[in-house]
Each structure stands twice: as C-alpha cells, then as structure tokens.
Amino acid sequence: MRRFEDQGFRDSMRIVMDYNNMTSSAVPDGVSPADFAAAKAAADRAAAAMPKLAAEGRMDWRALPSSQAEVSREIIDYADQARERFDAFVVLGIGGSALGPMAVQQAVNHPYYNELSREDRGGYPRFYVADNVDPERLSYLFDILDLRKTLFNVISKSGSTSETMSQFMIIKDRLERELGAEAAASNIVVTTDREKGALTKIAREGGYKTFYIPAGVGGRFSELCPVGLLPAAMCGVDIEELLAGAAYMDAICSEPDATKNPAYMYALLNYIGMKKGKPISVMMPYADSLKYMADWYAQLWAESLGKAKDRGGRTVNAGPTPVKALGVTDQHSQVQLYAEGPFDKMIVFLAVGKFRRETAIPRVFGDAPNLAFLGGHTHSELISVERAATEYALMKSGKMNMTITLPEVNAFTVGQLLQLFEVATAFCGELLDINAFDQPGVEGGKNAAYAMFGRPGYEAVRAELDARPAKDAKFII
Ligand code: PA5
C-alpha cells in the first residue's frame, strides 16, 4: 500500500488553519460575530453558486485530482524513460504555466536539487524554468546546458504567449542547427490545449510528444494537470501523492458550511477583511521550501480576483493585493511595517509542523549570555518559536493574522495546499461577484506589445499608440 492510501497517514498529514487572530476575540478590529452575520447572505449565495459553476464547466480544475489519474500514469512512464536520456529538464512557460511547476519542485525536493549528483537526485535531470524574456537569462542558460541531453517542455494553453513562444522559437532553431531536425524533435515535449491555438498544430506537424491541458482548466488553476504533473514527475516528485493530497483537501472543501470548510472560511475572512479596509494579503511561509508557493499564490489571488467589473457589469475595481514574504528572513525586512504600519493587511503564516532535516545549535559561546541561551536548541525550534512570537506580536499590535500549518512538507500536503487555495480563490470570486477565471486586464498590455511589434491585426492599436501625445520632457529628470 502506498502511504497516501493509508487513512492514518492522510489524517496525520491534514493541513490545519488557525484563524483565531483574525477574529475580534483576538484583535480589536478583527472579524466579529456581527461581521460574520452581515456576510452570511453573500457566503450562502457563494456556496450555492459553486455547484453551478462546476455544472457550467468553469471548475474543471477541481476534478483534476481524479480526472488526471490516467494521464498521470502516462506521465510517470514517460518521465521514467526520459530521465535515462536527459541530464536537464527546462520548462518554457510563464504565469500559470511556470509558477506551479516552480512551487511544487522547490517545496518537495532537496533545496539544492540541481547541485546534487545525478544519483542523489534519484537519477532525475536537473530542473530549470525559463519564464521571463530577459535576454541574459536564456542566453546564460545555454552556457550550462548540454543541448543533446536537455529536454525542453513548452507549456502554453493558448499556444500564442509571446514570451513562451519566442523562447521556443529560439530553442527549436538552436536544437535543429545543432542536432538536426529529426533528433531535435525528441528533445521537445509540448503541453497545450488539445484543439485550440497554434502550438497544438506545431506539435502535430513537428512530431513532438504532447500532453494536453483539459479544456476547462485555465493557466493558474492548471498545476494538477500535465502543466505541473510532467515537470514534477521529471524531477522525482510523487505526482500520485500530490493528486491524492489535492483530492483529500477537495473533500474537506466540499462542505457548504464555511465554519467547517477551510477554503470557504479563508475566502470569507479575506472578503470581510477587505470590507474592513484590509485589502493587502500577505503570504509569509516560515520555510524556504514554501517560498515559491507564495509566488504561485500571489498570481492565483491577484489575477483571479483583481477585476474592474462585477458580473452585473458594474465598476467595482475589486481585489486584494497579495504580498509575498518569507519567515524569518522578512522579520528583518517587512515585519516592522506589519506591526506598526497601517491596519490595511491580513498576514497569513504558513507553518511547518516537522521539518525534514534538523540542525542542532551547539552549546558554544557559553560565557556570552546573549547567545548561550540558543545552545542546545535546534533551528526548527528557532524558526517555529520566531513564527509563534511574530504571530503573537502582530496580534498584540492588533494586526489580523492566521496560521496554516502543514504537518510536514511533502507531495501530499503540497497537493492539499494547492487545492485549498484554488477553491478559496473561486469562492472569493463568488463573494465578490466577479469572474475569477478570466484576465481581461492583461490584454491591454499584450495588445500594445503586439502592435509595437507589428503583429498583423493590431493596426488599429498601433494607430492609437502613434496618436498618443509625446511625453512631456519636463517630467523626465
Ligand atoms: O492564469 C493564466 O491564465 C495566465 O497566467 C497564463 O497561465 C499565462 O498568461 C500563460 O498563458 P499560456 O499558458 O496560454 O501561455
């Protein structure tokens, strides 16, 4: 039996959310029983809307833990073969096609994974993500890759994202020049939509191995389909355990009553907090392994919930502002502001019950009382105590905060975390009465970039750009 099939293991790995310090019993400005009562109608409406969204196919991502069972076996087989041949695995993707793969890999694997010997990596290739189009980044990446032994995973749902596709163009050209067209094709694996977009056609014509993103699954909700499963499997993450963790949390988050549903409660607290003038949502993991989880969450939260219009077409300019922080590092950077600055934030700590490694602090400097007290303790004690102390100090300063604890960081708990925040995001979208699954606000910049690059079909935007008034030199110093 795999460990995630054992109910005892599953229950011992359940993520727990403690929101005491979000409430008025802990902080004067916290969420009070009256606030909960005032939000009840919105919460009931949102809970009733969730099954409707599912029926409309807007939440196909929720079914990924079960719908991807078959493809995950195909991915595992593919990864088992590919790892024999490749020494490096490079994701070409951006946004929802990059942040999840980065977050999961960093959470589950050794923090110096790429520096380990191949044997210590379990025979899996090194892992890189090329998301930005900073010209230095990709160019320098070539310095450390042996192209013959590198597998490139082009991930794009739309197949038209300029960043990803321009990187693919560079790599395809370079691979074909160095290896020849036929050999080059076996160093490329594509993840895209089955029917729509240019990439699916390119993949078919190029003979590239292709995995498909289910139709109703948008970028930032796609980590648990081949977008995230293939990169995870390629660096040795147990993707079946990841999916099992997500399924476990999904069952917990299917409870309509928010007091029993951590995703609904998380969204509700944020929704009420926003109404109480706290639009800033700080995600502060106290574990390096979860650092990129805050990046993944920031995109999910910002792109899904930052919307100009509500469903009725009214201008609402809604949305929380996610901020990423890292404990304890940012205690020496941002916590001063959180403690004494404006009451405009909610701070979410991610805590870890048991770290996978321990470092004991030896009893040295015994004659220096300001340091001697540390001796005999461990770093996991220190990080946990510092988190608890910061939580306490913020509560004393009247700052709303909550703690989500992962008993341990592993594929099962990471799967839970992904599903928890995805369901919370969808529920928060319903509370705000906005569409959490589109991103019209990014189109303006994209279209202007297309026009500046002379893409056919964007002549009107180009004309509009050309007609804009020149910048005033007096405002440039
Ligand atoms: O969440 C989203 O939809 C976006 O962040 C996309 O993931 C991102 O823009 C990349 O899109 P694509 O996968 O089509 O290349």
Residue whose CA is at the smallest distance from ligand 1 atom 15: 156
Pocket perturbation via mutation, ligand 1, pick of 220, 301, 304 by most ligand atoms within 8 A of CB: 220
**Which atom of ligand 1 is the closest one to the Cα of 164?**
15
What distance in Å separates the CA atoms of residue 290 and residue 243, rounded to the nearest whole number? Answer: 18
pLDDT band at 443 (very low <50, low <70, confident <90, very high): confident
pLDDT given for residue 444 in this prediction: 86
CA of 173 to the centre of ligand 1 (A): 24
Neighbours of 75 (CB within 10 A): 23
Q: How far is the CA of 157 from the centre of ligand 1 (A)?
A: 7
> pLDDT class for 193, splitting at 50, 70, 90?
very high
Q: What is the pLDDT of residues 62-78, one digit of tens each?
A: 999 999 999 999 999 99
In this prediction, residue 179 carries a pLDDT of 96
User: Which residues have a Cβ under 8 Å from the Cβ of 309 and sit 6 or more positions away?
Assistant: 315, 316, 434
Report the DSSP pairing between strands 280-285 and 345-352.
parallel
Active-site residue set:
303, 332, 446
Model confidence at 236, pLDDT cuts 50, 70, 90, reads very high
> Which ligand 1 atom lies nearest to the CA of residue 197?
14
Distance CA 264, CA 278 (A): 18
Q: Over the chain, what is the mean pLDDT?
A: 96
**If you search the block for the tokens 């070539």, which residue do you land on?**
142
Answer whether 291 contacts ligand 1 (Cβ < 6 A).
Answer: no
Of all residues in the chain, the percent with pLDDT exceeding 90 is 97
Distance CA 154, CA 160 (A): 11
Q: How confident is the model at residue 308 (pLDDT cuts 50, 70, 90)?
A: very high
Dist. CA 335 → ligand 1 center (Å): 32
The residue to mutate among 161, 166, 196, 304, having the most atoms of ligand 1 within 8 angstroms of its beta carbon, is 161
Average pLDDT estimate for 154-160? 95
What is the topology classification, in CATH, of domain 3-56+244-432?
Rossmann fold (3.40.50)
Neighbour-count burial for 201-233, b at 16+ CB within 10 Å, e otherwise: ebbeebebbbbbbbebbbbbbbbbbbbbbbbbb
Mean pLDDT of 4-29: 98
Mean pLDDT over 175-194 rounds to 96
Ligand 1 and 157: CB distance under 6 A: yes
pLDDT surpassing 90 at residue 459: yes
Q: How close is the Cα of 162 to the center of ligand 1, in Å?
A: 11
Residues of the chain with CATH 3.40.50.10490: 3-56+244-432, 68-237
pLDDT of 446 higher than 90: no
| pTM of the full structure | 0.96
pLDDT at 12 over 90: yes
HEC secondary structure over the chain: CCHHHCHHHHHHCCCEEECHHHECCCCCCCECHHHHHHHHHHHHHHHHHHHHHHHCCCCHHHHHHHHCHHHHHHHHHHHHHHHHHCCEEEEECCHHHCHHHHHHHHHHCCCCHHHCCCCCCCCCCEEEEECCCCHHHHHHHHHHCCHHHEEEEEEECCCCCHHHHHHHHHHHHHHHHHHCHHHHHCCEEEEEECCCCHHHHHHHHHCCEEEEECCCCCHHHCCCCHHHHHHHHHCCCCHHHHHHHHHHHHHHCCCCCHHHCHHHHHHHHHHHHHHCCCCEEEEEECCHHHHHHHHHHHHHHHHHHCEEECCCCCEEEECCEEEECCCCHHHHCCHHHHHHCCCCEEEEEEEECCCCCCCECCCCCCCCHHHHCCCCCEHHHHHHHHHHHHHHHHHHCCCCEEEEEECCCCHHHHHHHHHHHHHHHHHHHHHHCCCCCCCHHHHHHHHHHHHHCCCCCCHHHHHHHHCCCCCCHHHCC
Q: Is ligand 1 within 6 A of the CB of residue 219?
A: yes
C-alpha 274 to ligand 1 mean position (Å): 27
| Superfamily the domain 68-237 falls into | Glucose-6-phosphate isomerase like protein; domain 1 (3.40.50.10490)
For residue 411, pLDDT beyond 90: yes
